Structure 1
């Protein structure tokens, strides 16, 4: 039974895909003709034959920006320096090797002072601890990337293919490439809005905010300046996979997009697969 299901999945991947302009509010599935002809449906009734098809690249960018806005953390990948400094406790054998570690992030650009804000262009805010391996590697000259995913919503999302179980691989993930931009020291007044935004997702971080009295760690505010975006919307026969248009990424806002970017919608006009009201901000 399982082998027949996967054979059907492979057959689906060879089917042509039409373009669409509908807002993707749920998990995209194949259009009516493709659904009813699927080998998978020989074992499961086609209960949903609506025409929900692959999002456009602009719609995928809207989903990606929404995922950034709703993601409280992500995996930052860096590379150990080569050679490892003699004073380090890091094994010399990992010199030049990559490491991925989860870090706190937030989409807080609009909470920065006007002279520092990038206009809500998708550059995430990061609370960096100087003691952390991630930021030690970056300080030693490492490149970095930030990976986000929606996989923890697998139990809420609709299965893509009738007859198959929920699959995390059908849910979106994204990798942002760029460089770390440390923010200058902020006055208490200017830092207040940023702290309020960041602590909305990370109330525990209050004790190690920059300048927090009695903090166990020295920290600083920074942001990832995004230069490239790689998107996997899910299974490639019903979702976009590949490099996003960075101009679109940076031009999308919460309520609307910049002139000439897509059709003008913002990331509040879409919903991610399985998203519930408690996920919204």
Structure 2
């Protein structure tokens, strides 16, 4: 009798899953691009998981991956991200040791779970050792501080700052999106032009701090 009851329960569960799968719409790649941009641009924390690789001449961990959370701010119309580059950090040292300054930044939904969306951006980092070379540096500073007020203690060009720092820009060149469970949501690469061209939602529409400010070609 117990086996029969379990069988009935499982048939009911499978039936509900089948119904759910028939009514749940699949995202198109264009819709996935918009969702990915929203996930990154309008994160409540603007904290992503950055991954870099130890240099080949590192004494103990040559070629090993390194991953830890990092601040970012979405201050560019095309989806590039603003960073504060701290030479003291392990990521910064790994990036400088990479001939192409490669890195990746992953962002997940506010409550990470297998069913929720996440995106991984792979790209390179441009470091501006001279703030005078940063396009629209005042707007960049304001955008970054709106997302991360505590960063005022380590801003570039602050002689009293806690650490030496520089402005940097992360330019993605590859985007991988996981919308949730496979079969219900889009999973895979997103063409860069779709990600870059996804229309940003303005701050006035959603009250999101750090609206898109800078045109970056």
| TM value normalised by structure 2 | 0.79
Secondary structure of 1:248's counterpart equals helix
> Which of 40, 53, 67 is the matching residue for 2:39?
67
8 Å CA contact 1:206, 1:212 repeated in 2:
no
Q: Which residue of 2 aligns with 1:56?
A: 28
In 1, distance between residues paired with 2:133 and 2:51?
31
Alignment of 1:216-227 (within 5 A): 216-227=162-173
Q: Does the C-alpha gap of structure 1 residues 238 and 96 become closer, same or farther in structure 2, counting only changes over 3 Å?
A: same
Alignment of 1:1-281 (within 5 A): 39=14, 41=16, 51-71=23-43, 72-84=46-58, 92-109=59-76, 120-141=77-98, 143-150=102-109, 152-153=110-111, 168-183=113-128, 184-186=130-132, 190-254=136-200, 280-281=208-209
Q: Does the C-alpha gap of structure 1 residues 231 and 190 become closer, same or farther in structure 2, counting only changes over 3 Å?
A: closer
Q: Does the C-alpha gap of structure 1 residues 237 and 189 become closer, same or farther in structure 2, counting only changes over 3 Å?
A: closer
In 2, distance between residues paired with 1:209 and 1:234?
37
Secondary structure of 2:177's counterpart equals strand
8 Å CA contact 1:65, 1:249 repeated in 2:
yes
Secondary structure of 1:169's counterpart equals coil
| TM value normalised by structure 1 | 0.62
Q: Does the C-alpha gap of structure 1 residues 187 and 206 become closer, same or farther in structure 2, counting only changes over 3 Å?
A: farther
Secondary structure of 1:99's counterpart equals strand
Give the Å deviation of 1:139: 0.6
Secondary structure of 1:93's counterpart equals coil
Q: Does the C-alpha gap of structure 1 residues 169 and 217 become closer, same or farther in structure 2, counting only changes over 3 Å?
A: same
Give the Å deviation of 1:182: 1.8
- Structure 1 runs of 4+ aligned residues shifted over 2 Å read 48-52, 186-192
Q: Which residue of 2 aligns with 1:273?
A: none
Give the Å deviation of 1:77: 0.7
Task: Show CA shifts across 1:51-95 (max 9, x none).
Answer: 4411211111001001111231111111111222xxxxxxx2211
Task: Show CA shifts across 1:210-229 (max 9, x none).
Answer: 01231111111111111111
Secondary structure of 1:210's counterpart equals coil
User: CA RMSD for the aligned pairs?
Assistant: 3.3
Q: Does the C-alpha gap of structure 1 residues 81 and 189 become closer, same or farther in structure 2, counting only changes over 3 Å?
A: closer
In 2, distance between residues paired with 1:247 and 1:189?
22
Q: Which residue of 1 aligns with 2:214?
A: none
